[in-house]
Structure 1
C-alpha cells in the first residue's frame, strides 16, 4: 500500500483527487455514502502534487521531473 502525498478538492465540492508514490491520481466522489472511487489516472513517475483548474474540468499534476495536464475524463492532455 502506498501513502497519499497530497489531496485536493475540486471547485464543484463533489470530487477530491489524491496522489501517491504509486504513480496514480485517484478521483473520489464525496457525494456517495462510501466516498466511491471514480477513476484512477496513471502516470509514469511518482506524483507529488495535484490541483484542479478553476472550472474543475482539468487536473494539473507534478511529479519528480514532469508536470502533466489531464482532462477530468481521464485523458492525458499534454
Structure 2
C-alpha cells in the first residue's frame, strides 16, 4: 500500500516557499537593524524604535527556524509515500 504523494509534495512546496519568504524577511530585518545601529550611534533613533528593529530580527530568525523544520517534516512525510 502506497500513499499518494501529491498532498505531501504540496506541503513540501508550501514549506519551501515559506522558508524563502522568511529568508527575505530576515535579510530585510538585518539591514534594518544595521541602519538602526548607525542611527543609534548618532542619536538619531529612539530607543524604542531600535528595540523594535532588534525584536523584528529575532522574530524573523525564529520564523525561519520553524519553517526550516516544517521543510524537514514535509520531506520526511513525502519519503513515506
Q: Fold conserved (TM > 0.5)? A: no
Q: Which has the higher contact order (CA 8 A, sep 6+)?
A: 2
Larger radius of gyration: 2
Query: TM-score scaled by structure 1?
Result: 0.19
Higher-strand-fraction structure: 1
TM-score, normalised with respect to structure 2 = 0.19
Higher helix content, 1 or 2:
2
